[in-house]
Amino acid sequence: MSLSLKKITASFVVLLLVALCAVLFLPLAGVPVLSPHEIVTGHQSMDRYIYFHLRLPELVLAFLTGAALSVSGVSFQALLKNPLADPYILGISGGAALGYVLAVVAGLPFILVPITGYAFALISLVIIYKLACHRGVLSVTSLLLIGIVFNAFSFALILVVNALANFGQAQQILYLLLGSIDPVGWQKILILTLLILISFLVLFFKARVINILSLGDEEAFHLGVKVNREKKIIFVVTSLLVGASVSLCGLIGFIGLIVPHMTRIVFGADNRVVIPASALAGGTLLVLCHFVAGHVISFETLNTRLPVGAITALIGAPVFVYLLKKHKLLT
């Protein structure tokens, strides 16, 4: 399906407006409901504090994480020529989580935590890719199976490390495994924003190259693309997106699987359009999932709420099975 430039522009305006409304206005809802008047005029009011220091940072973080995971899903699906590729399913998120856990237990400063997650995400990608290739040919089935096994292996190592952690570190690890978005300071969000923005811009300007690589290595080579160099750059940048998002929000699955398919249905297969559209759509979807987990399906009497990773899994698991059936990988 191909849209005209006018329709694409209109669709992006709608996506942008929906994203802004979700991030800016959803923090007003919940318990307690916040007063817009108090937020604007009451400089010392509790509503203003809750809005700017608790709820808004959560939703900004959710948007950034959803955008990062969605764009990474677009890149993996295009380069691996696999419609089921997703950092969570492929085991790359599990590798990033292992790096995060080791950094936390080692007591590394915050700035080194996403870097460690990124390094482990990249190492995981290389290992899984190499294991799934047989005589230079990448098997989709092997890729999925090895990703599942690699995730299980990573989780086992995380549990071993967790046994050595103190109580505070163990709580951090638990939230990581559940996939939770909690209030964080604006300084941490700024660091994450810079990492994601740099990665996004690189992938956006590489979108034409990604289009060509999705045709196959031989075709890309004949079209003048330096295949190995470009693949390495894109895989490295995509792993940075995964590592950065996992370092703050933990393991949130299926966003990178669902959103690229949604955007391709609307915008077609051109990654110059799909990448920015997926960033907006994925960010908005995770914001909505986080709001549902925190305020719609919550347990006030137990003083707890559902992790956002549970909501994305409830949505994504049936979609994953549907895609397996559609592509005849499940019989």
Give the helix ranges, DSSP H, for 250-307. Answer: 255-267, 271-291
Q: Which residue has the higher pLDDT, 276 or 83?
A: 276
List of long-range contacts for 51-54, beta carbons under 8 Å, 24+ apart: 51/27, 53/183, 54/183
Structure tokens at 272: 């110059």
219-247 pLDDT per residue, tens:
988 989 998 889 888 888 888 888 888 87
The answer to pTM > 0.75 is yes
Where are the chain's structural domains?
60-326
Element (H, E) at 128: helix 112-132
* C-alpha span between 149 and 147 (Å, rounded): 5
pLDDT of residue 303: 57
125-148 pLDDT per residue, tens:
889 888 888 776 667 678 778 888
What's the fold here for domain 60-326?
Answer: ABC transporter involved in vitamin B12 uptake, BtuC (1.10.3470)
pLDDT band for 111, please (50, 70, 90 cuts): confident
